[in-house]
Structures are given as structure tokens and as C-alpha cells.
Amino acid sequence: MARKPRIHYPGAVYHVILRGNAGEPLFFKDRDRFRFYLHMQEVIERFRCRIHGFCCMTNHVHLILQVEEIPLSRIMQSLSLKYTRWINYTRRRTGHLFQGRYKAIMLDADAYLLELVRYVHLNPVRAGMTECPEGYRWSGHNAYLGKEMLPWLTTEWVLALFSGEINAAIQHYRQFLLDGIAEGRRNEFHSGTCEGRILGDDCFADKALTRANQHWRREWQLDELIDAICRRYGIAAKELKAPGKKRPFSEARAVAAVLVQESPHLTLTELGKVLQRDITALGKAAQRLIRQADARLIKLLEELRGEMEEMSESQA
């Protein structure tokens, strides 16, 4: 069964969970977490999203992320690619860092935002890593208390829900977390309440799906994607079908495979027929490209994603 596409509309808030491949660590040293912070700041500036809460555990990360015009998929692809490159370079390793597709639950912020912030910031307490949330360095909790400066973390929305006066808001927030310190795992924050994609009642789910449909855009076609890639590489489409593994043709095919895998309406089977290639080989080429992507390739992928989205918007 084909997986359902992410629901997107400007202003949507998600609980995002990134896990290490096969349960392996994502962070090995403090500098890794600081590098992850840097990449979060970069995607916020580039894609104009907001992070309202987070927690970097050893082998997984929780983010409470709000998008604007740029969909969550592009934001997470950029973040995971950049951080994977950092770990692979510093650890002299290759291969996947993150486990498959990230988990993302769109939530009714009016009903669940406060509780989700508490749940995420108390994650180290539930894991037995600290007795109180202030004792854990790698979450947004101390920034909410004013004890740490994280300019990329947005605290104003949540604190304003407690009080219009900052010191009173901080005290109410601290007490709110302490009141939930004995709380265990809450499955709804991991699985949602609707289709595994939405956390909210039926009314919110209907409104979210309606808003997403209002921002529908024409889906680009495979030939349009191939034409865009060929323009970038200065080659003809027929050259991609030629036998052999010479660059830039092999790299262009791998780029096509990466972007097709990201697109819920395209398949590697379709790409394989057009390029006269085995889909297993295309899939492996895409994986190698992701593992070995340098700054040039990351920029190329982001530009191609942007070009396809602009095409969809202009022709919708």
C-alpha cells in the first residue's frame, strides 16, 4: 500500500521524531549536538520555519516544528542530509545515519501544544537520564527558563499561553512541567488520533485536510523532472539511457532516483522504464548519492526541489 503524503498548509505544527538507524546513536560527542543546533538554525533561516520545543537524546530527536510555505519534507531532507554529512565526515564512516522516514504527527496546537512541549522536554526524565529537566543540557527546557540563549528556538508562543508577563510565564511554565514529571509514555504523541498523521479530534482533522486541499498544486511529471535535471547537467535526455557508468550521466540518474523517491506520486519503476535501468540499481545509486553528498550536490538537490515546486505552483 502506498504511503499517504504529508499534510501541509502554512502554519501547521508537527511533532517530528528522528531515530538513529537500527537504534544506533545520532550523537557521539557534545560537538555533534552543537553541530545539529547549527543545522537547525540554518533550516529555520532558509525555510522560515519555527521550532517551539526539542530534545536531542542519544539515538533520537524530538522536534516541535511549525512550517510556513515550505513543506516539512524539504526541511527535514535538508536537515538530515547536512547532519549525516557531518557525522560521516567526522567519524570516517559511510551509510545511513537515520532510520528510514522520519515520523511526523500534525497536531491541533490549541489543544495539544502545551502538553507536547512538556512531554518532549521531560523525555530525559522518563528515560532516567536526569531527575529534573533542568539537569539535561540538550533540550529546549533551560532556554524556556531563560537560563540558555538559543536564538533559533521560539518560546514566545508557549510562554504567552501562561501569562503576558515574562517572569510570571516562566514560573507557570516551570510548575506546569513539574506537575507532569510522573507522566509516562503517551501513545497519541507518537501515533496520533487519525490515520497515524494527525493529533486532534475529527473536527480538526477535517479542517486540516480541507486546508491542505486548498493548497493543492499540480504534481510535476517524470519527463519534466528529467528535463530539469538534464538542463542542470547540460546533457540530453537520451544520454541518460545510454549504457555505462560515466559521469555526469550516472550522477544525473542517481539525482533523478533521489527526487523520484521523495515524490509520493512517482515511482522508481516508472523511472526505470524511462531510463532502461533496473530499479534495484537505481535505488542503490540514490542511497550512495545521499551518503556521499557534498555541498554541491546538496545545493543541486535543493534547487531542483525548488524548481519543481515553482513549476507546480505556476501551473496549478
Give how far the C-alpha of residue 173 lies from the chain's centroid of Cα atoms, to the nearest Å: 27
Report pLDDT for 215.
46
Report pLDDT for 2.
44
Distance CA 118, CA 112 (A): 10
Sketch out the chain's domains with CATH numbers.
13-214 (3.30.70.1290), 222-315 (1.10.1750.10)
Q: Which amino acid is at 252?
A: A
Q: Which of 53, 72, 44 has its CA nearest to residue 119?
A: 53
pLDDT along the chain (316 residues), means of 10: 70 96 94 97 94 97 95 91 93 86 93 97 96 96 97 96 96 97 93 87 89 63 90 88 81 91 80 89 86 85 84 57
Distance CA 1, CA 3 (A): 6
Report pLDDT for 5.
67
Report pLDDT for 293.
80
Report pLDDT for 101.
79
Report pLDDT for 173.
98
Report pLDDT for 96.
84
Report pLDDT for 218.
57
pTM: 0.73
Q: Which of 59, 173, 170, 78 has its CA nearest to residue 124?
A: 59
Q: Which amino acid is at 230?
A: C
The single-letter DSSP state of residue 83 is: H
Contact (Cβ atoms closer than 8 angstroms) between residue 50 and residue 10: no
Report pLDDT for 256.
92
Q: Which amino acid is at 88?
A: N
